[in-house]
A and B are shown apart, each in its own frame.
Chain A
């Protein structure tokens, strides 16, 4: 269909070119008594110029030749013959032919230049649109879709199919437009490879009834293909770079973990090994109090090791997103009470002051995880607060429906710029040698509180240091339940 249209268009152009010439000839013939020959020759240049300008070089040349013949036939004596009697008329005719052909050529060339410029402009616009559409797109599926859309818009085609290798696990991406159209039975008229430095990425297949493509269009199609290939390549490079960065970061963390862990694991092991080997060696008769001391330190150090391993496990669980709180309605006083009872030995040198309002509602938390938060916050306070000072624990219902819990101590301030970072893994304000621990306790707290939908932060107080955290007081949208209280006794 397109093909017929093209031929009929060309035919129409020539026809119109000839018509212009015929009308001009008719008018001039009617006026021939009033016009002299050179003027007629001049006026005959008019259709030549018009035709070339409007219909192109072919119709222009046609009208130039027609004008030459028509001029000779109708206006040069003897009329109605192609014979020429006067030599001056012959010169006029020849000059006319040369001028007509030159004009038509000049105008035609200008026309062609204009058309080429317009095509270039169109091409540039389309390329611009394509590059704008592709800018910043990192998803290769999106890139393939954009290329297909731009191609089907720019090249009037029945169907476009794109295939490309995805960089994710060498998957194959396929996309075709119009969407939901059945594949055509015939082979595509155009196949353009998507070629990059890494090799062949895929292919553009174009079904287009009009098999002829202007060289400019052909070039545009190839430019689209190379732009698309470049975009896919860029997406691949970006992802590779991101992956490399993530790997590098996790590598860095792993080495920090390893150095921290090996240091932390080795010191209790050293104590255990030293104590046990001393007790086993037959050289010394240990007094019963010395024996007791050595055994107590072995006992303490195994507990310490157990805590370390637990912390590491928790951290890896938080990192992998496997830490899912089993939230249930709990009493904060019971949780804190349990932790304090268990830490009785560790808290001997400090005073603990728990201040919970009598009407504190039930809190929707994971009992075990919340115990761990308090355990870690209290342990941290014990580490830094001087002996014989008080650690305060308080909780209050906030106006926004959350619970604010504060664990404060009379320990030293933490520089303002470190306040956020103390919740980072392995982050220490002081030298690692001064205080023991994996550097994981606070980041575990942060992970647990975040999994509960709350927030944790630290602040310097005028006379100490405080950890604060919030916990939403709703569980699946439900507020704390109030239970019917039995008053009747048996």
Chain B
């Protein structure tokens, strides 16, 4: 990228804004900040950023609404910041189009990792999609429907492959239960998280070295799942 990526941070806590501006500027990002939802929306419209970091608890309008209103005109990645136990809000913001989330307090490495994943994903959306995803010793060929673990081909059922393909195509991003169920099983089964639980166990048994302590298919408690490529 020729110019440094532009990050818009919308949060009402001045301490967080100060810290993020310092840290992210140091990490060679251009940073704009807003402390209210409307202000953030106006800034995003006047100088569209490459990524938005959005706190869910804003004083004027809710973060979920900011999310929905951004999605009316742009697909720029949105990473939401929430407090612990805010699963419901988190999930509804993700279902409203947010790309990822972080729970306060978070480590800066986590935030940078999320930012990198989101930027890569939006670049992929503009360019072409990768058809082969590598994760440790796993190689997933999305176009040819082939999964290999090392040199061995792994036999998957149709549903298992569809599930894995959806996860791998969104490597690094959190996917909500609803979005996975809708995508793999269809909208009618969007509430059947038990399907997910059972199929994820099967996938882990076939793909993970230690299925009880998975390295690639991670559970996001109360939210969904995340596929991680690098160990």
Contact = CB atoms under 8 A, between A and B. Distances in A.
Interface of A: 299, 302, 306, 310, 313-314, 317, 326, 328-331, 333-334, 336-338, 340-341, 354, 362, 367-368, 371, 481, 483, 486-490
B156 A367 contact: no
B213 A367 contact: no
B200 interface: yes
B84 A310 contact: yes
B193 interface: yes
Contacts of B107: 299
Given A338-B221, A367-B222, A486 B160 contact: yes
B26 interface: no
A483 B194 contact: yes
Label chain A's interface by main secondary structure.
helix
A489 B156 contact: yes
Given A368-B87, A489-B157, 20 more contacts: A310-B85, A313-B84, A313-B85, A328-B193, A330-B194, A331-B197, A331-B198, A334-B197, A334-B201, A334-B219, A338-B219, A354-B212, A362-B194, A362-B198, A371-B221, A483-B194, A483-B198, A486-B158, A490-B158, A490-B161
Interface in B194-224: 194-195, 197-198, 200-201, 212-214, 219, 221-222
Range of interface residues on B (Cβ < 8 Å): 20 to 34
B120 interface: no
10 contacts: A306-B105, A330-B193, A336-B212, A337-B214, A340-B212, A367-B221, A368-B85, A481-B194, A486-B157, A489-B155
Given A489-B156, A490-B145, A340 B213 contact: yes
A135 to B, nearest CB: 48
A490 B195 contact: no
B131 interface: no
B124 interface: no
B159 interface: yes
Contacts of A310: 84-85
A361 to B, nearest CB: 11
A193 B157 CA distance: 84
B197 A490 contact: no
Contact of A334 (B84, B156, B195, B200): B200
